[in-house]
């Protein structure tokens, strides 16, 4: 049993190391993606785009889009909406809703990994602690009072497993919450753009055409 417990403890710490590396990799990759959508340039694009839409300035909108150096969820959505509006404005609102869902899925990509790590690493650490305590009591039963030093070492290692689990889980949960909040912000901005496009380009065009026909 002692050998089994030793192998289990080593495996727990290997899993913790792998989990921490995976969490850092996912965080960095997602941070780069989110940063593109939260820069001053991205916010400035929104601030300049909405007045252009309200003035029904198609050329200005296309020029603003063309001048953007970095692709973001906002530029992709704008490009998509302009192209679909030119092809056929009917059903554009539904298409824009679908595009928002697609962008949301893109932003949420790999976040389930962080969610899984945040929920499970404390339990993995707790398992390491249980194995360490088992090892400690086994040593106490085998060595008696003369094995106090071995027992204390085993308990120390056991508590270290719990600490490792929490050390991985806490930053991961914080990162996941951060990204979740940013997804809400970006999605809300896309929904605002969707309504602006529909109200000022599609509905406005339809009203103008109906008035001209009469």
Give me the mean pLDDT over the 177-201 stretch.
Answer: 92
Q: Which of 24-38, 79-93, 133-147 has the highest mean pLDDT?
A: 24-38
pLDDT of residue 144: 61
Give me the mean pLDDT over the 78-83 stretch.
Answer: 91
pLDDT of residue 203: 58
pLDDT confidence tier of residue 116, bands split at 50, 70 and 90? very high
Is the model more confident about 138 or about 37?
Answer: 37
Classify residue 112 by burial, with Cβ atoms within 10 Å: 0-12, 13-18, 19+: exposed
Lowest mean pLDDT of 10-19, 22-31, 132-141, name the range: 132-141
pLDDT of residue 206: 44
pLDDT of residue 86: 81
Per-residue CA distances from 44 to 110, 144, 206 (Å):
28, 71, 29
pLDDT of residue 1: 64
pLDDT confidence tier of residue 202, bands split at 50, 70 and 90? low
pLDDT at 213 over 60: no
């Amino acid at each position: 049993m002692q050998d089994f417990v030793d192998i289990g403890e080593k495996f727990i710490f290997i899993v913790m190391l792998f989990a921490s590396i995976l969490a850092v990799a996912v965080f960095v990759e997602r941070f780069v993606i989110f940063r593109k959508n939260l820069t001053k340039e991205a916010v400035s694009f929104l601030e300049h785009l909405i007045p252009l839409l309200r003035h029904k300035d198609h050329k200005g909108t296309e020029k603003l889009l063309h001048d953007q150096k970095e692709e973001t969820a906002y530029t992709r959505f704008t490009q998509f909406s302009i192209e679909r509006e030119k092809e056929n404005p009917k059903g554009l609102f539904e298409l824009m809703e679908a595009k928002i869902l697609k962008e949301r899925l893109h932003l949420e990509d790999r976040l389930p990994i962080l969610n899984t790590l945040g929920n499970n690493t404390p339990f993995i650490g707790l398992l390491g602690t249980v194995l360490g305590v088992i090892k400690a009591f086994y040593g106490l039963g085998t060595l008696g009072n003369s094995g106090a030093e071995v027992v204390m070492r085993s308990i120390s290692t056991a508590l270290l497993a719990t600490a490792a689990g929490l050390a991985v889980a806490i930053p991961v949960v914080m990162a996941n919450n951060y990204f979740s909040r940013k997804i809400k912000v970006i999605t809300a901005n896309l929904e605002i753009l969707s309504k602006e496009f529909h109200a000022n380009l599609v509905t406005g065009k339809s009203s103008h055409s109906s008035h001209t026909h009469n």
